[in-house]
Amino acid sequence: MKLDIVTLDAKKSGSIDLDDEVFGLTEIRGDILQRMVKYQLAKRRAGTHKTLSRGEVAVTHSKLYKQKGTGQARHGA
């Protein structure tokens, strides 16, 4: 299988010869391809995300939720 190499300026830079056993697929399953791309992008992330807890928020002193009507116990400051 012979493919053309195209530069970022959309000009032909040459050609490359690829092995048909590896790159000669007749049918590409989009669901598997989408799953692998999503997996690889997720593995690239650092995993350092988190949300701020009540004590880490610097500006507000507001309550977590209203005192009456939730069925929860009271929370003080």
For 31-49, the pLDDT digits (tens) are 999 999 999 999 999 888 8
- What CA–CA distance (Å, rounded) separates 16 from 3? 5
- What CA–CA distance (Å, rounded) separates 17 from 7? 17
Q: Which residue's structure tokens are 């092995």?
A: 19
Q: What is the pLDDT of residue 53?
A: 80
DSSP secondary structure, 19-46, as one string: -HHHH--S---HHHHHHHHHHHHHHHS-
Residues of the chain with confidence (pLDDT) below 50:
none
- What CA–CA distance (Å, rounded) separates 73 from 39? 41
In the chain, % of residues over pLDDT 90: 36
